[in-house]
Structure 1
Amino acid sequence: MAHPTEDKNFRLPTAVRPHRYAATLTLDLDAKSFSGQQTIEVELAEPTREIILHAIALKLGEVSFRSGNARHQPTSIRPVEVSETVVLSFDAPLPKGPATLELGWTGSFTDGLRGLYLAGKVAATQFEAADARRVFPCFDEPAFKAKWSLSVRVPEGLAVLGNGPIVKEEKDGALTKVTFQETEVLSSYLVALVVGPLVGTPAQLVGGVPVRTWSLKEKEHLTRFGQDVALAVLPLLQDYFGLPYAFTKLDQVGIPDFEAGAMENAGLITYREVTLLLDPATAPLSVQKRVAEVVTHELAHQWFGNWVTMVWWDDLWLNEAFATWMAFKIVDQWRPEWRMWLDFDSHRTSALYLDALKSTHPIHGEVRNAGEAGESFDAITYEKGGAVLRMIEGFLGEGPFRDGIRLYMRKHARANAVKEDLWNALGAAAKQPVEELATAWVGQSGFPLVTAHVEGREVALSQQRFYSEPGVESGEKWPVPMVLRYEDASGVREQRVLFRDKQATVKLEGTGAVKWLCANAGSTGFYRMAYDKASLAALASNLQVLAPSERIALLEDQWALVRSGRGSVADLLDLAARFGNEEDDSVLDELVGRLAYVENRLVDGEDQARVRAWVEKLLSPGLKKLGWQAASGESDRVKLRRSALVRAVGGLARSPEALAEARPRVARMLQGERDALEPNLLDVAVAMVARAGDSALFDTFLQKVPKEPDPATQRRYLMALTAFEDPALAERAQGLLFSETVKTQDVASFVTGLLANRTGRDAWWAQMRKQWKDVVARTGGAPMLVRRIVESLGMLRTREHLEAVKALLRDNPVSDANQATAQTLERLSQDVELRERCGPEVSAWLKRQP
């Protein structure tokens, strides 16, 4: 009979639990290897002949088990590759009660971006979801929380950072031994270590907690903004939770090569440099907002995730959805002028898009093993989860919702919890049936399309599950918390409705004729809206009275109806034509995104040129009025509107006039003239100029990439290399993927850029198919990056492409990206069908335009 560990879905038995790890690691950075010694204090709930730990590629040396005065050594130490465990077998039952397990081992740094790895000159760990087992033999599941007392022996002269502050530093032969303060109880995935030639800001105290931000020396001037964000939002988070920060100190460190955006290790948050380091004098506002949002997201995790932790990875969304929602809420409180909720809405779009596929998954879905946990870090877990929490907060009210969160944090402090614990706390605080609402939205895939038909003062509502594939139907329904906003003789009113059934009729409060109705006020609901013809015309005629979020939702919903075969692309373009005088940058971003899809994916040749000419005619008057040069004291709103218009006229419409304006400005910027381009124009101007650029410009960008200290600027130049449309230069860019120019963290983005290049796409696609295994291997096995490589194939356009992608993924399956494979194939199939269905309609519409 096979041992239970021979199953990939093996879970640790709960009869042996760790309470404390005392470990010493010795790092050899030159050899990229390490050795370790540790004592684990454990508790046995019953006698057992074996102890099972997680370990990957670790060579165990001496192992002994001590209980009281008795010492037991295992008769066998058996690694089991399939479950990433090691089984310690003993010849007699080990007694129930407290004991210690002593282990010695050796291991190697990983070549990818997980476990313990080298990012340039910096050694760093990344353990989520389940890679602590690459460094420590340990109980590597989130439910097995324990205290960690860690020492590390490293070469002299390096900064050494751990979860706690350093309590002792001493010379140990040729090495330095650093001992950290013992941690609070932590799940193993939250343990971290960073070693390298790093420098930190001076410590600043928030309620007695020292806060520092770290980087490589040459990037020291870019740490101030991230430090200031942490100092500003930490007190706001403490106030929201009603609990002090628990982890003694807070270090934030930019890692030169990093898989995710950031990682919330307790007291030692690690970041991809581009999400932490910037110069506010030169950074676009989008970069500043992104850094503020990521920093706040990771700090929110110090409570939600680190202090109260999920039991298992099926509740990963509890961590991520909450931190996603909380980050926008807190940054909005800190910087209301940034209008963060509009950014939240644009992030939510990716979740609505994904959740309209048949291959979507519930927010809370079955996760059988660590590999499947890695696939859960997607837009459903983060953005849909965050949107559902926002919707529940809107239904309960801000005060009762916060009271429920505080109750949950107090009740499960230092422990693990499941989703029902959160619903119970929210329900107790709000005295509302939270579980009904939450279970439907968290446990069920998809979301509804709500149809509203206005007849006098009554609104007939109906709901059905929304699929982006035409003709697909199913019978699910949701309790939909709706906020109806409308105007009648008494003015603009709001009315709340919990729409539970397939159909319902709502009588609108107030008097007189209803001028217009928006059935997702503030766009806070996670659903799509369809209106009867007269109601849609009334909204289109009253755009100016709708909030920016509602205008965005109107465009998004009409586009979704086109994709699903329920709406006409000609009607969508007629609606888009009404936005020529739009002044809100976020609405313009949405408009440009929709029109860019039409130009890029639905038409070719002369029709493509006609789309560009129409967009230029619609939006260039706005750009001419604003000009390219920012006026003194100009608001962020105006700067961002200019940026959106340049994207439309220069990026999408490819206006020769806009290119002629951008070229000399980019040239002056490259020569160091700071005022040549307003920061919010940098991305679009560099991309436009690169697209039409020559070999001299290509060489300039190529030389700047490795030398540029600012990570956002470095990324801008790197991605510009993928944009050159001269075929010879497109081929040169393709050749860079396997060079040191492209860091592991940037591989998926670079591949996506190459597939987006119109003149280079087909040659690169042919090359990619030949080198598919090498391209996937170039990610170093990082699950998020592997998934994004698969998703990049969605940049392809034709049925011939689709068939080739199907064959490639069928013959070369990517085991860490099963979900991404299904979603990419379904999405690409729909894009191809949409192109074949709507291309002729777009062509006919364009010919009717004056």
Structure 2
Amino acid sequence: MISRVLLVVCLSLRVANSMPPDKVPIHIIKARSIDLNNAHGLAMETRLDKVVEPTGYKLDLEPYLEDAVFKGHVAINVTWLKEGNELAVHCSHDLEILESEVRAHFPDDTKESRKIVINKWSMDPKKPIYTLYLERNVPKGSTGFLKFSFKGNMETSSMEAFFKTTYTAPEQEVERVVAATQLRPNNARRMFPCFDEPGYKTPFELSVVRPRNMVALSNVPVARTENIPDEPDAVTDHFEKTPPMSTFTLGLVIADLKQLNNSIMYKDELGNEIEIRVWGRPEYLEALDGVNEKVIRVFKELAQVWRVPLPLRRLDIVALPNYQGVKPADNWGLIVFRESDLSSRGYLQLAQELSYQWLGAFTTPAWWSDAHLNKALVGYIAAATAFKINNGSEMEGKWPLTVLYSLYYEFSKRYPHSRITGMKQETACTKIELLFRMFNYTLGDETFKKGIRMFLESRKFKTFTGDDIWNALNTAALEDGRIPKDIDIKTVAQSWITKDRLPLINVQRQYDSKTAVVTQKVYLRERPHDVPEAAKMSWLAPIVVAQEDSLDLKNTQPATWMKDKKELKISNMPEKSKFIVVNPEEIAPYPVNYDQDNWILLSNFLQSDKRLMMPELTRAKLLHDAWNLAYAGELSFATAFNMTLFLKNERHHLVWDPVFTMIDHIGRHICQCLQGKFQAYVRILLSPLYEELAKDEKEDEEAWRKNLRALTKSFLCKAGYKPCIREAQEQYSKWMQAKNPDEGNPLGNQYICPVFKWGTMKEWEFGLQRVINFPPSRMQSERTYLLKTLAGCPETENKINRLLNITMLEGNGNFSETDMFLIFSMLTGSSGGYTTLFHFLSNNWDVLKERYSSRTNLWDNLITSATSVFTTEEGLELVSHLYITHQGEFGSAEHIIEKSMRNIREEAKWSAENLPVIEAWLDKYLANSDVKDDQFYKN
């Protein structure tokens, strides 16, 4: 093996007039789709002036792996789109250009191409753009090429651009080198000077010099291999020409890899004829057993979805050693995974990466503003594919509930994304993914697939904007008669995408006339509901109606569309003894409220033996909508709690999924005076389910069953279920009896919170001492968890006051300012916690103000945590009294307590309206319950 391996990479492209008409490189599309949030900060990136467009590359790379450096030469075939004497290409500041040359062949010139003198060059100091200034103008329509010689460094600290990493082979203890690329989204410019924009799509030819004992993989198969004179340990692989593609889909892997089993030749009636290979390091192949079969199964499903054959002869899938990329490198024809991701049992990620071979590589977003659209459609198709293959077991059947519920909560805030700005991109993508699901239901599966196939067929080898997708879906829907002629899919999509809000649909049935009045408004949970422009917002929402005699949901075509109206009337409603469900299966992302009589009909049906006739996702929706609407002040809590009565007979985990969020949200919001009754309700609600789940516990049982049991047990423990508390205390005692308790925690984390909440002061004090004496050699995350539970689990004043005294008054040096922030945050999670914190602040005002008011961040956080979470008139009186007593003394937190009082006034109105209703319902429920109370602790 040579000591310093020289790798030569050559990429060649032919000029456009040598290619078939359907493969000529296209220009960047100017049309913009629906504006989305910036993708990876690239949407506002400066584009190159369109003086020329690339039609071919010839690239020679010479990487020196030991030194992680490379040099190279690139010749880029170009066509002049307009006359000019300046040329610009993308080039990273870390890439040093050594020489430049320009040649051009003018139109109608019989002579060969001529060399154009370069007067000067410049690198933009702020942007990765390299500009050549030519001696003369080059006419429009000229063809030629640009040549650059350059050198640069391989990435060693990240898995981006052209990177190098190493790993140690087990047992052999030999360090091995891996070289590979991750050029998404705009990292090709860090590897060679190029036109690094998604719209410039051209074919590539690649040649790689590699060590004989290593494998080189790229987008297409190797055409031939050559020996290298004077280099017996290296050979050159010449790869076939690729189809036209964007720079970021170019891929290369050089590593000591071995193929898993034999190649699989996939061929179908659609025109796909592709060799599929899976690669890994030799010692890891056993862990990849079965991956070939998974890949074929997913590929076959996706091929049937798209029904547009991939123009690839080979697809290589690699489990790359020590690859730590944020996501797989989804190059066209070469997908690079982390080893653990490829060997995992699931199908979802594999379906996502294979989907990108069609949407992302075959056709590519015209600009980064459409990247969310690409990701959303891939995400929907991948989730639907994985769901179909394994019946949703990978996602425990919870798709799309998990993403949908989080979207409901985020968009119902007064200020969406105000706490986590990075969430905005993800929620934008999630919302569009749910829109595709909505269109799949409302247009019908066949029409939806017809539309996206039409879209792909029209944009293959090209780029796309959102308009291309929406217009194709609209054409298919009109052809199949799946939408009214006055409905346009693009307009529908815009009405959802352009708002960081979701609608609430109200349905008031008029039983005598068998009609229903449907209205819409902005869905808001946080108070006050004073969102600007809320009254002007409307959505083009599909109104799908399921009736009691049609719960199989075979027809999901909307009865009508809201269009831009705030109100409409629908007819053909059933008789007054029969319920309706609007938006079953969460077809569109919006909750639904009904008149009181329809809610009663639904509650009674769910408590009957016919309950299972309604799909579990719709049962979950009704439960989720009811309690969220009550929380938002749109529905009586008596109605919402009545919708939970059927749960005593419910065992499907999907239906139970929103229950735990309900318990958490309502438990945090109600006053301390109702906590005991609410906890009793939780115990009665959950204990039959837990006792049934605990009977037949098996090691190989389904993941959903394990998770449901764990959740049920956790919430029962918090509510004071004696068997759970006893078990936790038994486990905890082992730690208390250990000779060296600070060396480690011998019990599972699930036992700690129940002990701190319901256990003795001695048990809690033992945990406090473990935090104080926590050795620096142990993982600090363990200490953080212990401190969080010490603060967040107890509700009794003596434990909380002990923690606050030792950290804030005694000034124990074992607790940092960060610890105090954490303690405050955890205390806001329960009424007992923030009430005790408030009294601690009030009783020790002078000391705390003197000690902490100059530490602005800590002081402000203390005032916020102690005053802002109250929800009742009594709480408002406490905070107001503190404000009046110490007016002018709050310093930097003056505006905080004033804001707290404004918010508490709003919450107090809610409490005044709802707490008596909740208490009356709980009193009646507990009085009628036949569950014995001797199995429960009580506050």
TM-score by length of 2: 0.66
| 1:524 and 2:587 aligned | yes
Question: How many percent identity over aligned positions?
Answer: 22
Pairing of 1:551-630 with structure 2 (within 5 A): 551-561=619-629, 564-567=632-635, 572=640, 575-576=643-644, 578-598=646-666, 602=669, 614-627=681-694, 629-630=696-697
CA distance in 2, matches of 1:54, 1:265: 20
Residues 428, 497 of structure 2: 8 Å contact kept: no
Q: CA deviation at 1:74?
A: 3.5
Residues 129, 189 of structure 1: 8 Å contact kept: yes
Tell me the secondary structure at the aligned position of residue 550 of structure 1. Answer: helix
Q: Deviations over 1:222-262 (max 9, x none)?
A: 32354332210212222222222223222223454545443
Counterpart AA for 1:592: F
Tell me the secondary structure at the aligned position of residue 148 of structure 1. Answer: coil
Tell me the secondary structure at the aligned position of residue 374 of structure 2. Answer: helix
Q: CA deviation at 1:752?
A: 11
Out of 214, 217, 221, the position equivalent to 2:279 is 214
CA distance in 2, matches of 1:20, 1:832: 66
| 1:276 and 2:342 aligned | yes
Q: CA deviation at 1:91?
A: 2.7
Partner residue in 1 for 2:360: 305
TM-score by length of 1: 0.72
CA distance in 2, matches of 1:131, 1:724: 50
Q: CA deviation at 1:309?
A: 1.5
- Distance change (3 Å), C-alpha of 1:441 and 1:493: same
Tell me the secondary structure at the aligned position of residue 589 of structure 1. Answer: helix
| 1:478 and 2:539 aligned | yes
In the alignment, structure 2 segments of 5+ residues that lack a partner are: 1-42, 105-111, 168-177, 268-272, 732-746, 757-766, 794-806, 808-814, 823-856, 869-899, 927-939
CA distance in 1, matches of 2:283, 2:730: 29
Counterpart AA for 1:525: A
| 1:236 and 2:292 aligned | no
Q: CA deviation at 1:196?
A: 3.5
CA distance in 1, matches of 2:901, 2:363: 42
Counterpart AA for 1:590: P
Residues 298, 347 of structure 2: 8 Å contact kept: no
Partner residue in 1 for 2:738: none
CA distance in 2, matches of 1:588, 1:490: 20
Pairing of 1:83-94 with structure 2 (within 5 A): 83-94=127-138
CA distance in 1, matches of 2:181, 2:337: 11
Greater relative CO (CA pairs within 8 A, separation 6+): 1
| 1:59 and 2:96 aligned | yes
Q: Deviations over 1:309-353 (max 9, x none)?
A: 221112223311211111133233333464977412322333333
Tell me the secondary structure at the aligned position of residue 164 of structure 1. Answer: coil
- Distance change (3 Å), C-alpha of 1:62 and 1:519: same
Q: CA deviation at 1:415?
A: 0.8
Residues 203, 244 of structure 2: 8 Å contact kept: yes
Counterpart AA for 2:95: L
Partner residue in 2 for 1:115: 161
Partner residue in 2 for 1:719: none
- Distance change (3 Å), C-alpha of 1:184 and 1:532: same
Q: Which moved more, 1:571-580 or 1:78-87?
A: 571-580
Q: CA deviation at 1:462?
A: 0.5
CA distance in 2, matches of 1:272, 1:751: 31
- Distance change (3 Å), C-alpha of 1:449 and 1:8: closer
- Distance change (3 Å), C-alpha of 1:212 and 1:488: closer
| 1:379 and 2:427 aligned | yes
Counterpart AA for 1:306: A
| 1:184 and 2:221 aligned | no
Tell me the secondary structure at the aligned position of residue 527 of structure 1. Answer: coil
Residues 190, 306 of structure 1: 8 Å contact kept: yes
Counterpart AA for 1:556: H
CA distance in 2, matches of 1:25, 1:830: 65
Residues 310, 362 of structure 2: 8 Å contact kept: no
- Distance change (3 Å), C-alpha of 1:50 and 1:427: same
Residues 261, 294 of structure 1: 8 Å contact kept: no
| 1:331 and 2:402 aligned | no
CA distance in 1, matches of 2:656, 2:777: 31
Residues 123, 129 of structure 2: 8 Å contact kept: yes
Partner residue in 2 for 1:98: 143
Q: CA deviation at 1:356?
A: 3.7
Partner residue in 2 for 1:426: 473
Residues 66, 99 of structure 1: 8 Å contact kept: yes
CA distance in 1, matches of 2:783, 2:87: 44
Partner residue in 1 for 2:518: 461
CA distance in 1, matches of 2:820, 2:282: 38
CA distance in 2, matches of 1:724, 1:151: 64
Pairing of 1:415-814 with structure 2 (within 5 A): 415-431=462-478, 432=483, 433-456=488-511, 457-470=514-527, 471=529, 472=531, 473-487=534-548, 496-500=559-563, 501-510=565-574, 512-543=575-606, 544=611, 545-561=613-629, 564-567=632-635, 572=640, 575-576=643-644, 578-598=646-666, 602=669, 614-627=681-694, 629-630=696-697, 636=702, 640-650=704-714, 653=717, 657=723, 688=750, 727=771, 766=818, 800=864
Counterpart AA for 2:614: L
Q: Which moved more, 1:54-63 or 1:577-586?
A: 577-586
Q: Which moved more, 1:226-235 or 1:572-581?
A: 572-581
Q: CA deviation at 1:568?
A: 6.3
Counterpart AA for 2:217: L
Which structure has the larger Rg? Answer: 2
Partner residue in 2 for 1:810: none
Tell me the secondary structure at the aligned position of residue 54 of structure 2. Answer: strand
Out of 46, 49, 70, the position equivalent to 2:85 is 49
CA distance in 2, matches of 1:518, 1:733: 58
Pairing of 1:250-269 with structure 2 (within 5 A): 250-255=315-320, 256-269=322-335
CA distance in 2, matches of 1:257, 1:565: 50
- Distance change (3 Å), C-alpha of 1:113 and 1:353: farther
Q: Aligned-residue CA RMSD in angstroms?
A: 4.6
CA distance in 1, matches of 2:544, 2:127: 48
Counterpart AA for 1:397: G
Q: How many residues align?
A: 711
Q: Deviations over 1:408-442 (max 9, x none)?
A: 22222211122222233223222144333233234
Q: CA deviation at 1:162?
A: 2.1
Tell me the secondary structure at the aligned position of residue 318 of structure 1. Answer: helix
Residues 771, 786 of structure 2: 8 Å contact kept: no
Residues 728, 752 of structure 2: 8 Å contact kept: no
Q: Deviations over 1:535-567 (max 9, x none)?
A: 223323323243211122223324543554445
Tell me the secondary structure at the aligned position of residue 264 of structure 1. Answer: strand
- Distance change (3 Å), C-alpha of 1:503 and 1:242: same
Q: CA deviation at 1:359?
A: 5.9
Q: CA deviation at 1:630?
A: 4.6
CA distance in 2, matches of 1:114, 1:199: 24
Residues 651, 688 of structure 1: 8 Å contact kept: no
Residues 310, 417 of structure 1: 8 Å contact kept: yes
Q: CA deviation at 1:649?
A: 0.8
- Distance change (3 Å), C-alpha of 1:736 and 1:148: farther
Tell me the secondary structure at the aligned position of residue 147 of structure 1. Answer: coil
Tell me the secondary structure at the aligned position of residue 400 of structure 1. Answer: helix
Q: CA deviation at 1:270?
A: 2.7
Out of 189, 195, 207, the position equivalent to 1:151 is 207
Q: CA deviation at 1:154?
A: 5.2
Counterpart AA for 1:139: F
Tell me the secondary structure at the aligned position of residue 204 of structure 2. Answer: strand
Q: Deviations over 1:734-786 (max 9, x none)?
A: 9668xxxxxxxxxxxx999899766599968817999xxxxxxxxxxxxxxxx
